[in-house]
């Protein structure tokens, strides 16, 4: 099949490369000519494990190409995907749909009859109706269908998530469009990945509901962690204890410094704005958004408190800055609020991140970026682990301790064993494992 992907950002690029790998003929389009030039030279605009190799294989096989020319790219396509950004609109938190609508306008005049236009971008309920209206208005004669097909890709695991999805959601009541989508996902269909066909509006809401539910799960366990600290319980035992119940499930129950990234913060906010606009507030999600926002600075204060409450002039080394491991993405990373809290309190912050320091330097210019975790710990009064990169799981704890001036280790992801950290000479503070708890 012939596919065009409009928007060669994170979602467009991963999806385009994976569709090409399924054997389809794919063109990824982007307005940014330098990005397209770099992609043609196999330089990825983002860090995603396995992506450069996947792109190269499919470009070499002649199945994947990059272009800035939208009109010629969508000609003759069976499916044209819109995978442009939908950032939070400045000021009010609604999803900014201007890029989606601009793409719809531009493709309208160029598509051939019986093209399926697929929104992959995360868009509020009803956006498909508007995309359809825009295309019909611009090109009244052409037969087309607008389908919703949300993505559920995790950064750092996106290729695996695409090729082995828990489910594929296709929102359209048009039978011929459903057939095209069956063709697009045929290899997964043959693999028996569940494909769920729904109405377009249901599909649009599924994406928001899924992200809001996952964000709620994380926020719930984070609040349980705070309670554990007060009660002398261990949140990891509580997670395991509730997660083994199949109705709850073990995933997304890791307590930490709060969720960040390109999806959860923006999508939870957009969902509650949609709900408020429809006079149906989703109070649980409102509480989740607020609790998560407050948590990030609270984690900064946790580090300050671990140092006795006054950190003026002290040096703090941070390990991990990205919102999670295996990405260089700094969007809404908890580290940003944590750093700000520490700087506000008068501390000097040094940091290391395996992939994210270039991006991080743009949003935290006052932080000294270091070439290794041990360099970040050099003469530090405390070291705080913010992102659970694998490289930090195997640190030489003795060497880390020896590099420091002080001995406080704050582990915001609970990756170390308290006994081991203490044996290495650290005063160890983690999340949801209260000091009262004798067995932690
Ligand atoms: C998420 C969804 O998982 C994905 O389906 C959707 O398409 C986009 O948003 P992503 O943002 O890449 O993906 O990362 P994810 O792995 O879901 O983590 C999001 C945030 O939650 C991270 O900051 C992570 O550290 C945090 N998190 C996750 C926790 O704090 N605890 C957990 O148990 C799980």
First to last CA, the chain: 56
Q: Looking at ligand 1, which residue's alpha carbon is closest to its atom 13? A: 154
Distance from the alpha carbon of residue 259 to the mean position of ligand 1, in angstroms: 7
Cα maximum dimension of the chain: 75
Decide if 273 is inside a domain.
no
pLDDT above 70: percentage of residues in the chain: 99
H/E stretch holding 80 = strand 79-82
Number of domains, the chain: 2
Catalytic residue at 77?
no
pLDDT attached to residue 405: 98
Summarised one tens digit per residue, pLDDT across range 108-161 is 999 999 999 999 998 999 999 999 999 999 999 999 999 999 999 998 899 999
Strand partners, 350: 317, 368
Same domain, 130 and 254: no
Per-residue exposure over 278-297, b if at least 16 CB sit within 10 Å of its own CB, e if not = eeeebeebbebbebbeebbb
Distance from the alpha carbon of residue 151 to the mean position of ligand 1, in angstroms: 13
Same domain, 162 and 248: no
Q: By the 8 A CB rule, do 342 and 349 touch?
A: yes
Beta strand segments in 297-357, E: 315-319, 348-352
Distance from the alpha carbon of residue 154 to the mean position of ligand 1, in angstroms: 7
Q: Which amino acids bring their CB within 6 angstroms of ligand 1?
A: 151-155, 211, 214, 218, 252-254, 256, 259-264, 323-324
Q: What is the CATH number of the domain that holds 356?
A: 3.40.50.720
Decide if 99 is inside a domain.
yes
pLDDT attached to residue 438: 53
Options 28, 77, 228, 263, the catalytic residue: 263
Q: Looking at ligand 1, which residue's alpha carbon is closest to its atom 2? A: 154
**Mean per-residue pLDDT, 351-361:** 97
Decide if 418 is inside a domain.
yes
Q: In testing the pocket of ligand 1, which one of 207, 214, 223, 392 has its CB within 8 Å of the most ligand atoms? A: 214
Q: How many CB atoms lie within 10 A of CB 231?
A: 12
Per-residue pLDDT band for 189 (boundaries 50, 70, 90) equals confident
Summarised one tens digit per residue, pLDDT across range 301-352 is 999 999 999 999 999 999 999 999 998 999 999 999 999 999 999 999 999 9
| Average pLDDT of the residues of the chain | 95
**Mean per-residue pLDDT, 181-191:** 91
Decide if 92 is inside a domain.
yes
pLDDT attached to residue 192: 83
pLDDT attached to residue 178: 98
pLDDT attached to residue 90: 76
pLDDT attached to residue 436: 52
DSSP 53: H
Distance from the alpha carbon of residue 324 to the mean position of ligand 1, in angstroms: 8
Q: Choose one of 171, 198, 225: the last residue of a domain.
A: 198
pLDDT attached to residue 160: 96
Q: Looking at ligand 1, which residue's alpha carbon is closest to its atom 8? A: 263
Same domain, 155 and 254: no
Q: Looking at the CA of residue 332, tell me the nearest atom of ligand 1.
A: 23
Query: How far apart are the C-alpha atoms of 417 and 271, rounded to whole Å?
Result: 38
pTM for the model:
0.93
pLDDT attached to residue 262: 87
Residue with tokens 């609970």: 414
Q: Looking at ligand 1, which residue's alpha carbon is closest to its atom 16? A: 154
Beta strand segments in 308-395, E: 315-319, 348-352, 368-369, 382-385
Per-residue exposure over 23-60, b if at least 16 CB sit within 10 Å of its own CB, e if not = ebbbbbbbbeeebbeebeeeeebbbbeebeebbeebbe
Decide if 177 is inside a domain.
yes
Summarised one tens digit per residue, pLDDT across range 255-307 is 999 999 989 999 999 999 999 999 999 999 999 999 999 999 999 999 999 99
Distance from the alpha carbon of residue 83 to the mean position of ligand 1, in angstroms: 20
Same domain, 254 and 384: yes
Decide if 369 is inside a domain.
yes
Q: What residues make up the domain containing 184?
A: 2-198
H/E stretch holding 130 = helix 127-138
Does residue 434 have a pLDDT over 80? no
Same domain, 184 and 305: no
Does residue 223 have a pLDDT over 80? yes
Decide if 275 is inside a domain.
no
Distance from the alpha carbon of residue 33 to the mean position of ligand 1, in angstroms: 31
pLDDT above 90: percentage of residues in the chain: 92
Summarised one tens digit per residue, pLDDT across range 25-51 is 999 999 999 999 999 999 999 889 999
Q: Looking at the CA of residue 263, tell me the nearest atom of ligand 1.
A: 9
Q: Looking at the CA of residue 262, tell me the nearest atom of ligand 1.
A: 11
pLDDT attached to residue 93: 77
H/E stretch holding 115 = strand 115-119
Q: Looking at the CA of residue 155, tell me the nearest atom of ligand 1.
A: 12
Q: Looking at ligand 1, which residue's alpha carbon is closest to its atom 6? A: 152
Does residue 89 have a pLDDT over 90? no
Decide if 28 is inside a domain.
yes
Q: How many CB atoms lie within 10 A of CB 433?
A: 24
């Amino acid at each position: 099949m012939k596919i065009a992907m409009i928007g060669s950002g994170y979602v467009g690029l991963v999806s385009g490369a994976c569709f090409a790998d399924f054997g389809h003929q794919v063109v990824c389009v982007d307005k940014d000519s330098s990005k397209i030039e770099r992609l043609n030279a196999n330089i990825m605009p983002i860090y995603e494990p396995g992506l450069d190799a996947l792109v190269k294989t499919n470009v070499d096989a002649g199945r994947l190409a990059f272009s800035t020319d939208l009109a010629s790219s969508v000609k003759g396509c069976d499916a044209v995907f819109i995978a442009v950004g939908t950032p939070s609109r400045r000021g009010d938190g609604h999803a900014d749909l201007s890029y989606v609508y601009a793409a719809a306008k531009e493709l309208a005049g160029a598509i051939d009859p019986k093209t399926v236009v697929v929104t992959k971008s995360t868009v509020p309920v009803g956006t498909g109706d508007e995309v359809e209206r825009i295309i019909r208005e611009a090109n009244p004669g052409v037969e087309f269908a607008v389908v919703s097909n949300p993505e559920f890709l995790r950064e750092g695991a996106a290729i695996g998530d695409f090729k082995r999805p828990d489910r594929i959601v296709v929102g359209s009541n048009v039978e011929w469009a459903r057939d095209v989508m069956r063709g697009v996902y045929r290899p997964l269909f043959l693999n028996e990945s569940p494909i769920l066909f729904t109405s377009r509006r249901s599909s649009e809401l599924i994406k928001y509901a899924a992200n809001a539910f996952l964000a709620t799960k994380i926020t719930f366990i984070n609040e349980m962690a705070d309670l554990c600290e007060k009660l002398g319980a261990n949140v990891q035992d509580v997670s395991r204890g509730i997660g083994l119940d199949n109705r709850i499930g073990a995933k997304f129950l890791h307590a930490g410094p709060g969720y960040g990234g390109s999806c959860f913060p923006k999508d939870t906010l957009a969902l509650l704005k949609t709900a408020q606009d429809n006079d149906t507030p989703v109070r649980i999600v409102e509480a989740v958004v607020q609790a998560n926002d407050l948590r990030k600075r609270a984690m900064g204060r946790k580090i300050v408190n671990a140092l006795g409450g006054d950190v003026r002039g002290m040096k703090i080394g941070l390990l991990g800055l990205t919102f999670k491991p295996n990405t260089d993405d700094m969007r809404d990373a908890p580290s940003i609020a944590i750093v700000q809290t520490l700087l506000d309190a008068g501390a000097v912050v040094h940091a290391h991140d395996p992939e994210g320091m270039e991006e991080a330097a743009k949003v935290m210019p006052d932080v000294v970026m270091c070439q290794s975790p041990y360099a970040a710990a050099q003469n530090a009064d405390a070291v705080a682990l913010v992102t659970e990169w694998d490289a930090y799981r195997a640190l030489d704890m003795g060497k880390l301790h020896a590099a420091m001036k002080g001995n406080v280790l704050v582990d915001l992801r609970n990756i170390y064993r308290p006994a081991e950290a203490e044996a290495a000479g650290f005063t160890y503070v983690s999340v949801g494992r209260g000091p009262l708890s004798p067995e932690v």
